[in-house]
Amino acid sequence: MTPDNNNLENIKRAWKNMGENLGMQMPDDNSHNLQHKKTALDRLRNYYRRFLIFGIMFAMSSFFIFSNWPHLSKEKGFWLAVIYSAYFLINGCLDWWLWRGISSIDPLTMGAAQVSEKALFYRKRHLQMIACMLPVAIGVICFTAYMFSAEKYIIAGIITGAIFGLIVGANQLRKFMANYRRLSE
């Protein structure tokens, strides 16, 4: 063993002993846990990519669903399909922009202040996009309810879906904001 390797081993051993004395469990030298651990930045990238894919899938599927809906005339079904497809495509584009921005953050080449600044910038844009798209979503839901106003069970499904969507959306927003908080610390 060279003197440099011996010195490195002593530092590792001292670091591990210090952690054990403080009551912290230190990772083993041979474990690969650190390589498989996802960071807040990785989670944000994955969330935005997932929402981008869902936006595109929902845009395509909503067009096929509403344009062929049996309880609607062809014209009403077409417009409902166009509105839903446009809404989901816009959300997909916004998620793509956020995904690109978050992917541009590189903690290895950027300083901590720059990483934090970019994270706060994209967090702010995320919240602004929600503030813009939430009234549009409410309008789309109301328009859908108007189109199906004669069908009480469909109206009940729209209300149930809106409540469920609000709960899931609030939970996802909480996860996004927790990861932004970790990233900007």
Which one-letter DSSP state was computed for residue 26? P
In whole angstroms, give the CA distance from residue 132 to residue 126: 10
With b meaning 16 or more CB within 10 Å and e meaning fewer, what string describes 95-131?
bbebbebbeebeeeeeeeeebeebbeebbeebeebee
The pLDDT score that the predictor gives to residue 39 is: 86
Mean pLDDT of 65-88: 86
Vertex 173 angle, CA 49 and 115, to 5°? 65
In whole angstroms, give the CA distance from residue 62 to residue 129: 22
The pLDDT score that the predictor gives to residue 3 is: 53
Query: Among candidates 39, 32, 121, 134, which has minimal Cα distance to 90?
Result: 134
Residue 183 is encoded by which pair of tokens? 């990233």
Mean pLDDT of 116-124: 92
pTM of the model: 0.74
Residue 87 banded pLDDT, cuts 50, 70, 90: very high
pLDDT (tens digit, 9 = 90+) per residue, 158-176?
Answer: 999 999 999 999 999 999 9
Query: Among candidates 136, 147, 142, which has minimal Cα distance to 69?
Result: 147
